[in-house]
Chain A
């Protein structure tokens, strides 16, 4: 069964360091999403791609976060510099265009010390 792949599963870093997360969506899924989930809350959309184009990044803290999907397939989410409040689960999801169901990866848990 096709899955959304994410790495790393766990990342511990010190504040002010740079971190990066990688996501490989299900083959053929044109839409890719990065969500952040803080413990006890629901996933919050950070950025949405349609192929290689950003559709929505209104919730992305652009002073420290960046995301790219250069060839319209896999994607990287970067945080520089990391802050204590960035500790969360970072979830990648993908979907076919125009369908509502999102397929999530297992997530990357970030702890900033």
Chain B
């Protein structure tokens, strides 16, 4: 039962352009959403999060958008840099229960 879905396994963009990574979820109880970034041979690292009471959260080059009615969130990276090349995981949790569910990940490649 995949409650968090990332339907694009990979994405390639040119340096300086915008990267948009998408995520869909099915559990309406989810109220906290996160993006993690993972480099090879390392554990995932937290990137940015958003609570369900918001529809946008921005941190430097990274912005996360949440559309609760569509059960959809997206991560925008502007401008994209080669160092952003990694696997990006979308994650969601419900309430104070830290049982976090992850998507399958999207591999982003930023070409110089």
A residues contacting B by CB (< 8 A) are 4, 31, 33, 35, 40-45, 48, 55-56, 91, 93, 95, 97-107
Across the interface, do B102 and A48 meet the contact criterion of CB distance under 8 Å? Answer: no
Q: Which residues of B contact A106 (CB under 8 A)?
A: 41-43
Across the interface, do B43 and A4 meet the contact criterion of CB distance under 8 Å? Answer: yes
Q: Which residues of B contact A41 (CB under 8 A)?
A: 104-105
Interface residues of B in 1-50 (CB under 8 A from A): 4, 6, 9, 32, 34, 36, 41-46, 49
B99 CB within 8 Å of chain A: yes
B residues contacting A by CB (< 8 A) are 4, 6, 9, 32, 34, 36, 41-46, 49, 89, 91, 93, 96, 98-105
Separation of A56 and B98 alpha carbons in the complex (Å): 10
Separation of A43 and B93 alpha carbons in the complex (Å): 14
Across the interface, do A101 and B43 meet the contact criterion of CB distance under 8 Å? Answer: no
Q: Which residues of A contact B100 (CB under 8 A)?
A: 33, 45, 100, 102
Minimum C-beta distance from B45 to chain A (A): 7
Minimum C-beta distance from B93 to chain A (A): 5
Q: Which residues of B contact A43 (CB under 8 A)?
A: 44, 89, 102
Separation of A4 and B104 alpha carbons in the complex (Å): 23
Across the interface, do A40 and B104 meet the contact criterion of CB distance under 8 Å? Answer: yes
Q: Which residue of B lies closest to A102 (CB)?
A: B100
Q: Which residues of B contact A44 (CB under 8 A)?
A: 102
Q: Which residues of B contact A48 (CB under 8 A)?
A: 98-99
Contact partner, B34, options A31, A45, A56, A100, Cβ 8 Å: A100
Across the interface, do A56 and B43 meet the contact criterion of CB distance under 8 Å? Answer: no
Q: Which residue of A lies closest to B2 (CB)?
A: A42
Separation of A35 and B99 alpha carbons in the complex (Å): 11
Query: Quick one: given A101-B46, A106-B42, are A42 and B103 in contact (CB under 8 Å)?
Result: yes
Separation of A2 and B104 alpha carbons in the complex (Å): 27
Separation of A33 and B102 alpha carbons in the complex (Å): 13
